[in-house]
Amino acid sequence: MLLEKEIGALQEGGVPIERLVQAAYPNAATGESVTQKYLGFLADEYKSDLTKMLFATSLCSDDINVSTDFRKVLSRPFSMGGLGGFPFSGFTGMVAFAHHIPDDGDAFIFYGPHIGITDSGELGRMIRPGQSKLSNSCGALMLALERMQQTEEVYVPHVVDYDYQQMLLENTLMPFKHEIVNAEDPKKEITEKAYFKIHKQINRLVRMSKQEFACNRIFLLGGIIINTSPGYHDYVDIRSFTVYNVSDLEAINPTSILNSKAFKEL
């Protein structure tokens, strides 16, 4: 990983956005290449019929989250995500998704938070389409961070019906407040913690809904989306790829198969 001063030196010479993204997320790849890689993997290694696959996302409501091309290939995604990418549709949403899978098909869920990056490599902000000013991304996570960082009084989120997603998001992340605000880059750290919680919640919801899945397999792909300025590719830092065989879902240890031999030899 590049040091901060190295990033600074690179910027003066005009650094390609990929270098800046990979300075913060060394394993990030473009949404397009991630899509090709994983859909190819599903079709070739798992012999999955993509025309019978039901696709779901747990991504932030933010309009900027069009970064992967999965949705161009797999139509009619079931949208589980709310602010921050947390699966706000909950147990009910997961059960509904399970019931909608085509006969003899598979389930595929793509989940995770997102974070902007400026043309000079600053995380947590971005230029949006049609705008010239920088704005926060993810706005919900950056708002939560600002509230955690306030010093005049200790912030305590209270769930209210007119802003319950934001309040629940903040409640979920509050146990990590110390780690987040004291991190070298708190904006990056709150995004990491959001990923950690979303990953846990999706896995728990899948296990809770086991009896409702008529399909044999559930593919789970999790990562952090990195939003760049208009004109550049967006990137995804994949963190976990898990395949559940529904019949032995309880027994399965949901470890990522990223380290599996088949994956490495792609």
Q: Which residues pair with 80 in a beta bridge?
A: none
Among 39, 60, 127, 144, binds Zn ion (CB under 5 A): 60
Sequence-ordered alpha helix ranges (H) in 79-163: 90-99, 139-149
Which residue lies nearer to Zn ion by CB, 15 or 190?
190
Residue 173 lies near Zn ion (rule: CB under 5 A):
no
> Taking contact as CB under 5 A, which single stretch among the options 17-25, 44-52, 53-61, 167-175 is the one that binds Zn ion?
53-61
Is it true that the peptide bond before 138 is cis, omega within 30 degrees of 0? yes
Residue 138 lies near Zn ion (rule: CB under 5 A):
yes
> Taking contact as CB under 5 A, which single stretch among the options 118-126, 140-148, 179-187, 254-262 is the one that binds Zn ion?
140-148
Question: For the chain, what percentages of helix, strand and coil (3-state, to nearest 5) are there?
Answer: 40, 20, 40
Cβ-in-10-Å burial (0-12, 13-18, 19+) of 163 comes to middle
Among 7, 31, 58, 62, binds Zn ion (CB under 5 A): 62
Q: Which residues pair with 135 in a beta bridge?
A: 126
Residue 226 lies near Zn ion (rule: CB under 5 A):
no
Which residue lies nearer to Zn ion by CB, 60 or 218?
60
Closest distance of CB 125 from Zn ion, Å: 12
> Taking contact as CB under 5 A, which single stretch among the options 137-145, 202-210, 211-219, 242-250 is the one that binds Zn ion?
137-145
Site for Zn ion in 91-120 (CB under 5 A): none
Closest distance of CB 61 from Zn ion, Å: 7
Cβ-in-10-Å burial (0-12, 13-18, 19+) of 79 comes to middle
The residue behind tokens 């970064």 is: 67
* DSSP state letter for 239: E
Which residue lies nearer to Zn ion by CB, 100 or 188?
188
CA-based nearest residue to 70, from 39, 95, 112: 39
Which residue lies nearer to Zn ion by CB, 84 or 93?
84
Binding-site size, Zn ion (CB under 5 A):
4
Classify 191 as helix, strand or coil. Answer: helix
Which residue lies nearer to Zn ion by CB, 17 or 60?
60
Estimate to the nearest angstrom the gap between the alpha carbon of 219 and the chain centroid.
Answer: 15
Which residue lies nearer to Zn ion by CB, 140 or 236?
140
The residues that touch Zn ion, with contacts defined as CB under 5 A, are: 60, 62, 138, 140
